[in-house]
Amino acid sequence: MALIVGGGAGPARAAVGAPGVAIPLHGLDHACLDARYPALAGPWVVGCGPEGRVDRALSLRTGVELRLPVPAEAPGLAEGLLLLVGPVAGVIRLDEAGATLLDLPQVRTPTLAPPATDGARGALLAEDRVSAWALEDRVRTTHPAHPVGWYPPALAGQVLAWVEDGGTDGEDVWMLPLDEQDPAPRPLSAGPGHQRHVVGSGDTLAWVEPGALVIQDTRTGEARRLPVDTGFSAPPTLWGQVACWEERPAPGPEGARDGVDIRCSDGLDAAGPGHQRWPSRFGPWLLYREGDQPWLRTAADPPDGAAAGALAP
């Protein structure tokens, strides 16, 4: 039986934010145990309560606020959906009527990092193996690998990607083609230095290489390298093939650096005094933080729907 918590009943609500404006999101400023949250699950901000676990969601379209039926430390996120694996497991669907704990198989496998989901499938990293499965499946195939902890896997089209231990050369990005009958893991981006922070959206993957952010269409293999200095802690974020990242400016004449800003490949950004960090993007919305305060910037013009499906300039 599905469990529904919270709901959209009550006074009429309104969309959060306004085009061209950045606003603080009060009520979502509890610090999370995992610094990657709050984050966007499509048009929903999922954030934490006083205990630091993800336990609430805010609809950016209507302002409806929900409490989740199961709190989680680090869920996988897709548009309107959360995937929880490990000791606390479940799949939660978000809509204006409430947060529903779906009657789907629970995955209690211990993991090295948060899981990933594209809304139809889940993926996880375990000791010496990776796995991807349809959310309704009770049987999951695993594949041998040496994933690095903390970095979540990524799903894009028919590809599962993750950060692999490259030994003395640092981390590499590996992939598994999910549409092959007998798929074998293989390197996607490897070599000296650190290839890491792989993320997925739709049919697109993005990851960080030394001095660059790579955006790849998994259907065609077309890839573009954006020359950026994006640091090492916060991952980039993808909406279709639109990427946003932390930009760390080069040192000035005295060796000092200005603050960290958020840049996006379609021109949306968040900049100003101090540090703007931990970007999360969906449609016109860019979620980020200044210190512990979440902020939401809405694009001045609605994004072109085609922008999510083509490599951004």
DSSP H or E stretch at residue 39: strand 39-40
Share of the chain above pLDDT 90, in %: 81
Lowest mean pLDDT among 30-34, 50-54, 250-254: 250-254
Using DSSP, state whether 305 is helix, strand or coil: helix
pLDDT of residue 2: 52
Percent of residues, the chain, with pLDDT higher than 70: 90
Query: Where is mean pLDDT largest: 91-105, 179-193, 219-233?
Result: 91-105
* CA 3 to chain CA mean position, Å: 25
CA-based nearest residue to 191, from 163, 162, 171: 171
Please give the span between the terminal C-alpha atoms of the chain, in angstroms, as a whole number: 47
For the chain, what is the radius of gyration of the CA atoms? 19
Rounded to an integer, what distance in angstroms lies between the CA atom of residue 164 and that of residue 191?
12
Which pair of tokens denotes residue 228?
Answer: 């950026």
Calculate mean pLDDT across residues 246-251: 79
State how far the alpha carbon of 236 is from the alpha carbons of 35, 208, 289, in Å: 14, 8, 14
Query: What is the predicted pLDDT for the residue at 306?
Result: 43
Q: Which of 240, 268, 296 is nearest to 40 (CA)?
A: 296
Q: Which residue has the tokens 């300039």?
A: 313
Residue 85: pLDDT band with limits 50, 70, 90:
very high
Whether the pLDDT of residue 157 is over 70: the answer is yes
pLDDT of amino acid 29? 86
Distance of CA 108 to the CA centre of its chain: 21
Which sequence spans correspond to the domains of the chain?
1-108
Model confidence at 308: pLDDT above 70:
no
| 240-253 average pLDDT score | 83
**pLDDT score of 311:** 43
The average pLDDT across 232-246 equals: 94
Nearest alpha carbon to residue 278 among 235, 220, 227: 235
What is the pLDDT, as a whole number, of residue 253? 57
pLDDT at 160 exceeding the cut of 80: yes
Q: Give the model's pLDDT for residue 310.
A: 46
**Short-list 228, 235, 232, CA closest to 249:** 228
Q: Is the pLDDT of residue 184 over 80?
A: yes
**Are the CB atoms for 259 and 276 separated by under 8 Å?**
yes
pLDDT band at 254, cuts 50/70/90?
Answer: low
Residue 108 has pLDDT above 80, yes or no: yes
Q: Identify the burial level of 250 via C-beta atoms within 10 angstroms of its C-beta, where 0-12 means exposed, 13-18 middle and 19 or more buried.
A: exposed
Contacts of 281 (CB under 8 A, 6+ apart): 40, 237, 238, 239, 242, 243, 244, 264, 268, 287
